[in-house]
Structure 1
């Protein structure tokens, strides 16, 4: 029971905020696609993108990243409320900026014909079938992954090997998006840069304190209802 209370105290406050960022992610992605679905989409593919080899095997990294996101976002919550609400504010704002890009500057790319009968090709075919070539700039996959690195960067309470892993894996996820033709190079740069800029912005402005007050009021009301 003491262990449960310890983790409840450390992470419990972050349940609603974390759920809200995943909810906003869906609203941004599907909302942007619904609004801009019939508009002209710009193709930002460059000669560099055309020279990058198509490697279906990278679909495994592309898909396993969802577990990486969950783990590192929870780790961000374990670094204290002030840190976490700065992190959350940067994340939510970055997603809203993505929405503006998806609506007012929709992008697309050309996917290759899938040849072969390997598991990776089948997985990639399934991915293509559920994920249209839209909402590409900035890459949410890359943005989320850089936020995952930010969540552990410079933290002495996180093992050094995992901090290094998070940095390397964030880059591998970025590379996977172009190796399987889900994104182009510019999408990767925009996703990484957006996450870093928002993190730095909220560190300097302290606007995240307003976000903290908002969620603490929500958590307080939930606690009141549960105690009745």
Structure 2
């Protein structure tokens, strides 16, 4: 029982796939769909090898949450809370501001191109802004940075991994640059709000003590 009591909070990770159910209902064409192409996006080549970090997103997301939980539970709960709020905001944006991306024709053969075809076939080209791949990866990266138990070489590995996932969204043509920027800005705003809330809560506690 002590083992169950110790690790049951890990079950809160299931909130992420539960919330993701909403994504499937929003991931389709609607009367008003926008494209956020910038001139620079037109010059970014398709690089099939980046499907590897792109597809590693979910298993690494799960593993890093478990890592955060084992290292620092407070950071684990904070990171998970911010991620759930971020996902909800993304879904609200998708419901009123639907965007799409023009995917390239995959004419070449090879395992990496086949993996991209699989993604294209199972994920409609909608719900682009902001990018959930980027949002969740950047949140975990910031969570790892705030965790005292993940420092030095360990954090460097996490940073390289999640940076590769972030840029992979552009190089396999699942997102455009504005999708990435929008996700990063949203995360920064959420962390700023969390910081303000923490300061206000601390001040209230101090006033009660005094």
TM-score higher than 0.5 here? yes
Give the 3-state SS of the residue equivalent to 2:56 in structure 1: helix
Instruction: Give ranges in structure 2 of 5+ residues lacking alignment.
Output: 202-210
Q: Deviations over 1:169-212 (max 9, x none)?
A: 222111111111000001111112222321332232149x9xxx
Are the counterparts in 1 of residues 75 and 147 from structure 2 also a CA contact under 8 Å?
no
| Counterpart in the other structure of 2:148 | 156
Matched, 1:49 2:41: yes
Matched, 1:13 2:5: no
For 1:162 and 1:197, the matched residues in 2 are separated by 26
Give the 3-state SS of the residue equivalent to 2:125 in structure 1: coil
| Counterpart in the other structure of 2:27 | 33
Give the 3-state SS of the residue equivalent to 1:113 in structure 2: coil
RMSD (Å), alpha carbons: 2.2
Q: Give the CA deviation at 1:140.
A: 0.2
Matched, 1:166 2:158: yes
For 1:22 and 1:203, the matched residues in 2 are separated by 26
Give the 3-state SS of the residue equivalent to 1:157 in structure 2: coil
Give the 3-state SS of the residue equivalent to 1:134 in structure 2: coil
Q: Which one is further off, 45-54 or 158-167?
A: 158-167
Q: Give the CA deviation at 1:42.
A: 0.4
Q: Which one is further off, 186-195 or 122-131?
A: 186-195
Matched, 1:90 2:82: yes
* TM-score after normalising by structure 1: 0.80
Instruction: Give ranges in structure 1 of 5+ residues lacking alignment.
Output: 210-228
Are the counterparts in 2 of residues 145 and 170 from structure 1 also a CA contact under 8 Å?
yes
Give the 3-state SS of the residue equivalent to 1:132 in structure 2: coil
Q: Give the CA deviation at 1:147.
A: 1.5
Q: Give the CA deviation at 1:103.
A: 0.8
| Counterpart in the other structure of 2:205 | none
Q: Number of paired residues? A: 200
1:22 to 14, 17, 26: 17
